[in-house]
């Protein structure tokens, strides 16, 4: 397999195992050199023009290859300095909440029971999250979520009080719950912030969820934001621990 310049530059034999367009082959070559330690972590790779001349490809092809590797977190461009080999950021991880999300997205099998809906004064915690004053009026919701007839999620929500906003009506739907975790199927939510905490269920909460108060459980505190970046709602979910499995991958993955 060869990499060829789009303007008929001389072909250079790279490696027969590399397949695909020229920029894909070049990206594979650069990645192989990183794996072999030829381009160590933190080092600057050769300039685009130098790579272009060495392998007989157009500068645009080099840029495409670097873009592919930058998208994967393997390379990092620094304006005015060059392109550097990244190391994986072990301090950050995105967890997949398997089990919980799958149930919430199974909309045909999900039912929501409204335990309470009304107005209430914002507590200090709710006011802080919603960026309002303690004592300001909020819309309060308490919901019990069922999957295939079995309760699995207890939710308490506080929403900004705005008579003109359609957010309260949308929050009554099952899709509004899954959108907090997936960002899908809700045109009002731009982003949400979640915080996972261990918790102990009160006797009432355990009764609603049909479990024992001593059952290990999770509380997921959340705040979600609209497209003007203002907080629109806050609250928590409670669920027995066996309803959620957390998995993550750390480092640089190709997929």
Q: Where are the domains of the chain?
A: 2-85, 96-247
| Angle CA 115–117–191, to nearest 5 | 100
Identify the architecture of domain 2-85 in CATH.
Orthogonal Bundle (1.10)
Q: Specify the pTM.
A: 0.62
Are 11 and 4 spatial neighbours (Cβ–Cβ below 8 Å)? Answer: yes
Block mean pLDDT (10 aa), the chain, length 255: 41 56 90 88 92 91 93 88 80 68 84 91 93 92 93 92 67 62 66 89 94 88 87 92 76 62
Tokens encoding 47? 């300039």
Paired with 223 in beta bridges are 193, 234
Q: Whole-angstrom Cα distance, residue 153 to residue 243? A: 9
Both tokens assigned to 22 = 């020229």
As its CATH architecture, domain 96-247 has: 3-Layer(aba) Sandwich (3.40)
Cβ contacts of 77-82, under 8 Å, gap ≥ 24: 81/44, 82/44, 82/45, 82/47
């Amino acid at each position: 397999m060869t990499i060829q310049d789009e303007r008929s530059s001389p072909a250079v034999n790279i490696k027969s195992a590399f397949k695909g367009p020229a920029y894909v082959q070049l990206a594979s070559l650069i990645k192989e050199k990183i794996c072999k330690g030829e381009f160590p972590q933190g080092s600057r790779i050769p300039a685009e023009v130098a790579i272009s001349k060495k392998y007989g490809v157009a500068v645009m092809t080099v840029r495409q290859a670097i873009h592919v590797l930058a998208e994967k977190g393997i390379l990092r461009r620094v304006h005015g300095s060059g392109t550097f080999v990244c190391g994986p950021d072990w301090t950050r991880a995105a967890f997949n909440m398997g089990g919980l999300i799958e149930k919430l997205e199974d909309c045909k099998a999900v039912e929501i029971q409204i335990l309470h809906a009304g107005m209430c004064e914002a507590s200090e915690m709710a006011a802080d999250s919603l960026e309002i004053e303690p004592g300001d009026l909020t819309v309060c919701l308490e919901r019990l979520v069922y999957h295939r007839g079995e309760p699995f999620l207890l939710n308490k929500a506080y929403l900004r009080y705005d008579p003109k906003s359609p957010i309260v009506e949308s929050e009554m739907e099952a899709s509004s719950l899954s959108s907090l975790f997936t960002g899908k199927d809700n045109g009002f939510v731009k982003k949400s912030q979640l915080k996972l905490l261990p918790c102990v269920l009160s006797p009432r909460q355990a009764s609603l969820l049909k479990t024992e108060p001593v059952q290990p459980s999770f509380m997921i505190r959340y705040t979600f934001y609209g497209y003007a970046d203002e907080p629109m709602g806050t609250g928590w979910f409670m669920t027995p621990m066996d309803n959620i499995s957390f998995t993550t991958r750390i480092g640089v993955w190709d997929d």
